Amino acid sequence: MNRKKLLKNIFFLMLLMFLANSLIIKFHLYYSVWWVDMVMHFGGGFWVGLFFFYVFYTREWFSSKLLSVFISILLIGLLWELFEYYLNIISYEPFVLSDTLSDIFFDMAGGLLSMIYFSKRIMFTSKNKI
């Protein structure tokens, strides 16, 4: 595994998510563009998945620790939804179960893509021998 490449990808995604969220908040896009929340949750799931691959990785682990990464992504997604629920109580916005389930679905879909990306692009990359 190329840990340096993975760390660069994690940092780039973290920066991208921060900038995107800042612009979305500045222009109130969470309220005017219905699908932007889905894109952010998908990107967040992808980022969190790569982060936990970086944290949990050892040479002989890939198939045995996949469940740990999956559960970690789900846990972070659920904790984020609890945070959103708390903010909704403060702002007197109603709780919408379908929105919460959609957010968790997109978190997990992004996490699944991170598993595919990690296995295809990061874990089995070889050095250029030219």
pLDDT tens digit sequence for 50-90: 999 899 877 666 666 788 899 999 999 999 999 999 988 88
| Within a domain: 60 | yes
| Within a domain: 127 | no
Q: Give residue 3's pLDDT.
A: 84
With pLDDT > 70 as the criterion, what percentage of the chain qualifies? 88
Task: Give pTM, 2 decimals.
Answer: 0.87
Q: Show the CA angle centred on residue 52, arms to residues 3 and 4, nearest 5°.
A: 15
Q: Give residue 19's pLDDT.
A: 98
Q: Give residue 45's pLDDT.
A: 97
Q: Give residue 124's pLDDT.
A: 64
| Within a domain: 130 | no
Range of the domain at 80: 3-122
